[in-house]
Amino acid sequence: MNASKYVTPLTISLAGIFAIVLVVVLVYFLLIKGTYQQYGVEMGIYHQYVAYESPLMLQQANAGVVSATVAKQTVADEWNQIQMTKNPNIDYSNVMNAWSQYINELNFKLGPSIDQWMPSTGIKPTAPITTPAPPADPNAVVKANPIVIPLNGGSPIVVVGSFRQILHHVAAWNNFNRIVLIDKLTLVGISPWVAGAYTATVYEFPKNGTTPGTLFPTGTGATGAGGGIGGSMGSAGRMPPMGNMASRTPGRP
């Protein structure tokens, strides 16, 4: 049976739609910024007209503030829910604690979560999925807001299955316990088996991301050899844990 029955420009477009669904949370995050900006605009209009005696203009300005306030609260509540369900506890207010929390996230939470969750999608990757090694420099962690974690070092994740199985697998990333952007989905092969390849990037939003605590002193040698990945921890006396291996068992559906 020829692959064209399943892999056509139309079906590839459908795959793209599934991938786009995974971007919704990130687009929504951008929506928060726009909503807050609109709130500021409406407050400015209100203060501009509050000094005037025109009841109609004041009423309109007041209605705009009320509407913007409701929209602001709505997106704030929804974002707080996302923070609670899809975000790890990484707090930048203390750099050393943030570093420890990030190491714990990479080696003991994110990787194992992928291991445990992947079978629920119906298919497995053809090779292990890797997470990056944490930086040896504590200060390097708090320089990123949001935290961007490319799985597999940015290289494609490859899965094999039927066309429907692959679409289900890709869409299932919406149910993972982290915010994940799926991109560059491609489908090739002859039915009933098709190979799907895509990149996956995890986005994490730390607490106090815009107001991190005091940076750790680097002159004491505590950050090791230049703060590179896999470098020495200096006074801690040991190497930081290396990147985790997720989905260690390759296979087919």
What residues pair up with 129 in beta bridges, in sequence order?
A: 246
Q: 122: domain range?
A: 3-20+88-246
With respect to residue 57, please indicate whether it lies within any of the assigned structural domains.
Answer: no
Mean pLDDT value of segment 210-235: 53
Higher pLDDT, 229 or 76: 76
Asked if residue 5 has pLDDT above 80, the reply is no
Mean pLDDT value of segment 208-237: 54
Confidence of residue 66 (pLDDT cuts 50, 70, 90): confident
Question: How many domains, in total, are found in the chain?
Answer: 1
With respect to residue 222, please indicate whether it lies within any of the assigned structural domains.
Answer: yes
CATH of the domain at 157: 3.30.70.60
Identify the H or E element spanning 127. Answer: none
N-term to C-term CA, the chain: 19
Round to whole Å and give the CA distance between 48 and 46: 5
Asked if residue 246 has pLDDT above 70, the reply is no
Round to whole Å and give the CA distance between 144 and 141: 6
Q: What pTM value is reported for the model?
A: 0.66
Q: Name the pairing type of β-strands 193-204 and 179-190.
A: antiparallel
Contact of 197 with 227, CB cutoff 8 Å? no
Q: Hey, what are 202's tokens?
A: 């995890």
Highest mean pLDDT among 2-11, 23-32, 177-186: 177-186
Q: Hey, what are 232's tokens?
A: 């020495």
Average pLDDT of every residue of the chain: 75
